[in-house]
Amino acid sequence: MPTQRARTAGPVIEAHGLTKSFGTVRALDGLDLVVRPGEVAGFLGPNGAGKSTTIRVLLGLLRADGGTAHVLGGDPWHDAVALHRRLAYVPGEVDLWPGLTGAEVLDVLLRLRGPVDTSRRDALVERFDLDPTKKMRTYSKGNRQKVALVAGLAADVELLLLDEPTSGLDPLMEAVFQDCVREAAGRGTAVLLSSHVLAEVEKLCDTVTIVRAGRTVEAGSLAELRRLTRSAVTAVTADDPAHLAHLPGVHALRVDDHPDGARVSLDVEDTDLPGLLAALATLGPRHLTVQPPSLEELFLRHYGDVA
């Protein structure tokens, strides 16, 4: 990602060993998170894993019980106001003032940051196809979310904190949102994107941090994480491929009849892919696809096996 405007040398967000309890409930239990300048970072985890709590700590709204957190080089609790000039936040669910119009809410929120770039605001209103003259209470959930999104995206900032920002948006608007995030990243804005829409994370994010029960269970670039798991291979071969099952790193092999010979599908550890391909080449392959592991598989692996 280009970092034309990276004003901070070190990481934009750097949190280590964050802990936070609410009464007897431990919401964060040693969470680590690093986001570098210009990076779009995915933040994944099941409901209640501590994603929103982390973001609120990074905003200085909650005070962590333990661990360290730095945002844009500052302390999120003590330097909250100064840091907030340089970042914007979009919550996933907020009941903004029902008696104000969408436009009034937008202007109020943007003016808290100083003079408003009206053309940027209007362009976003246009792109998200939002009727700003309606009262907030008359908006549907998706339209309410658009107001929060435009308020966050219209600010000129170095860091965007997005907490499930596309909840309630239709697919068309999700695409607009993805364009906006890409443009922001292109300007050098770092983005922390908490989301359950895996396709969105896969399309947008350079890195992914997966949390569970208040703890980071996996973090790295999407490419690195993919290396940890298996690719899905399907091929049509002239010769019988059944013996491939004995190769190292091959799992879930299945063979079906095919007019051109046999159709084989299997999963393979990425490290064992070269050996498999060499073996396949000797079987007279007519057709071959290798699919990298989807984020969904990665995700399910970490979510699913609840200890």
Partner 1 sequence: MTTAAPDVHRVRVRDATRPGGLDGTWALLRLAARRDRVRLLVWTASILIMWGYAAVALDSLFPTAADRQLRGQLMSSPAAVILTGSGFGLDDYTLGAMVANEMGFMVLLALALLAIQTAVRSTRAEEETGATEILRASTVGRHAPAVAAYLLVVAVNVVIGVGTWGVLVAVGLAPGGAAALGAAGAATGLFFGAVGIVTAQLTTHARSASGLALAVLGLAWVVRAAGDLRAQGGSPLSWASPLAWALQTRACVDTRWWPLGLLVVGAVVLLVLGARLGGRRDLGAGLVTTRPGRAYARASLAGSVALAVRLQRGSILAWAAGVGLGAVATGTFTDSVSGMVSKLPQLGDLLGDVGALVDAFAALMVMFFVVLVAGFALSSFHRVRTEEQRGRLEVVLSAPVARTRWLGAQLAVTLGASVVLLVLAGLGLWAGAVSVGDGSVSAGAYVVAALGHVPAVALLVAVAVVVHGWWPRGSGLVWGWYGFSAVAAVYGGLLQLPGWLLDVVPFTHSPVLPGPGASWTGALVMAALALGLGALGIVGFRRRDVPAL
One residue of 15, 109, 150, 225 binding partner 1 per CB under 8 A: 109
Q: Which is nearer to partner 1, 61 or 175 (CB)?
A: 61
Q: Does 103 bind partner 1 (CB under 8 A)?
A: yes
Contact between 304 and partner 1 per CB under 8 A? no
Q: Which of 7, 111, 254, 287 binds partner 1 (CB under 8 A)?
A: 111
Among 148, 190, 193, 298, binds partner 1 (CB under 8 A): 148
Q: With CB under 8 A as the contact rule, which of the stretches 105-113, 184-192, 228-236, 250-258 interacts with partner 1?
A: 105-113
**Quick one: 23 or 304, whose CB is closer to partner 1?**
23
CB of 210 to partner 1, least distance (A): 24
Asked whether position 120 contacts partner 1 by CB under 8 A, the answer is no
Residues 2-41 that bind partner 1 (CB under 8 A): 22-23
Stretch 264-303 residues interacting with partner 1 (CB under 8 A): none
Q: CB nearer to partner 1: give 85 or 203.
A: 85
Residue numbers 36-95 binding partner 1 by CB under 8 A: 56, 59, 61-63, 80-82, 84-85, 87-89, 91, 93-95
**Distances from the Cα of 54 to the Cα of 179, 294, 307, angstroms:** 26, 26, 23
* Contact positions vs partner 1 (CB under 8 A): 22-23, 56, 59, 61-63, 80-82, 84-85, 87-89, 91, 93-97, 99-101, 103-104, 106-109, 111-113, 118, 131-135, 137-138, 148, 151, 161
